[in-house]
Amino acid sequence: MEVENALVLFCASTRFVHGNAQGNGRIVLYFYFEEADAGLLMLIARIRGQMELARFHPKGGMADPRWN
C-alpha cells in the first residue's frame, strides 16, 4: 500500500504514537504503545464505509518518529 499525507504524533512522556494517513483510497488510523510493543491499525473505506481492524507487534519496535 502506498501511504500518502501521513501525520505522526509522538508523546515522549508516555511513549505513545498516534497517526493517520491515506492509502489506496482509504483512511488509515493507528495507535502504537511502545512499552507493550503493540499497536492497533484501522483501515476505513471513505466516510461511511466499512472498517477493518488489525493488531500489530513490530519486531524490534518502531522507528523513532522524530527522525521521519
Tens-place pLDDT, residues 20-66: 999 888 899 999 998 888 999 999 987 777 889 999 888 777 676 56
Say if CB 10 and CB 25 are below 8 A apart: no
Residue 46's closest CA among 23, 68, 63?
23
Per-residue pLDDT at 4 exceeds 60: yes
Please report the pLDDT score of residue 5 as a whole number. 92
Q: In this structure, is residue 68 part of a structural domain?
A: no
Domain that holds residue 8: 3-61
Per-residue pLDDT at 6 exceeds 70: yes
Round the CA-based radius of gyration of the chain to a whole number and report it. 12
Please report the pLDDT score of residue 35 as a whole number. 87
The count of domains in the chain is 1
Report the alpha-carbon angle 2-21-13, nearest 5: 125
Q: In this structure, is residue 67 part of a structural domain?
A: no
Please report the pLDDT score of residue 55 as a whole number. 93
